[in-house]
Amino acid sequence: MERVVLLDEQGRGIGTADKATVHHRDTPLHLAFSCYVFDSAGALLVTRRARAKKTWPGVVTNSCCGHPAPDEPFVGAVTRRLSAELGLAVPSIDLLLPRFRYRAVMDNGVVENELCPVFRAVSDDVPRLSPAEVDEFGWVSWPLFVSLVVGGELAVSPWCREQVDQLAALGPDPLGWPVASSAELPPAAVR
């Protein structure tokens, strides 16, 4: 049973819940992460969520998302999910947006409500997809991805849509973005 960390409004841990039961019409605030994987030329690995996923099935999104287990450091969680979802081993993971938070409601009323720090990884490996997590992938230049998302030509997950604006504000070169301090992470995530 996979557990997620429940949070108060200040980002402090207040308990855990079974991931399989936490997403519904009144989803509590919980800890998550997003990761954007780039190749050494700066192209972004874009994925389509598996159609069997409970939240946003079949939707195009960033490279990888997930939830850290209770007491699991973010770098360990991101590493674990990159391996499990995409078959990627990455040499390093950089924190970009330590306090990103969003709330989104699906057409069926299911809510996502996450404090979701955003990370970057670099890999030139070919992904090996877990069919339970990802249906397909592709590499796209960051400037093209930003223009398609911001221009509304490419529909993406609601968290990815909001993250693109904040990441684009960091500068045009995703490999040169400044790394944030882990001290800026939510209190429940600081180890």
pTM of the model: 0.96
Token output for 179: 């790394």
Please confirm, yes or no, whether 65 is among the known catalytic residues: yes
CA 154/CA 68 separation, integer angstroms: 29
Indicate the CATH number for domain 3-177. 3.90.79.10
> Per the residue annotation, which of 65, 85, 116, 160 is the catalytic one?
65
DSSP symbol at 40:
T
Please confirm, yes or no, whether 116 is among the known catalytic residues: no
pLDDT value of position 50: 95
pLDDT value of position 191: 59
Q: What is the mean pLDDT of residues 21-43?
A: 95
Quickly state the pLDDT bin for 39 (edges 50, 70, 90): very high
What count of residues does the chain have? 191
Q: With a cut of 80, say whether residue 190 has pLDDT above it.
A: no
118-122 vs 33-38, strand pairing mode? parallel
> Per the residue annotation, which of 114, 116, 133, 160 is the catalytic one?
114
CA 16/CA 13 separation, integer angstroms: 8
Q: Would you list the domain boundaries of the chain?
A: 3-177
H or E stretch at 111? strand 111-115
Segment 108-150, tens digit of pLDDT: 999 999 999 999 999 999 999 999 999 999 999 999 999 999 9
Q: What is the SS3 string spanning 115-157?
A: ECCEEEEECCCCCCCCCCCEEEEEEEEHHHHHHHHHCCCCCCC
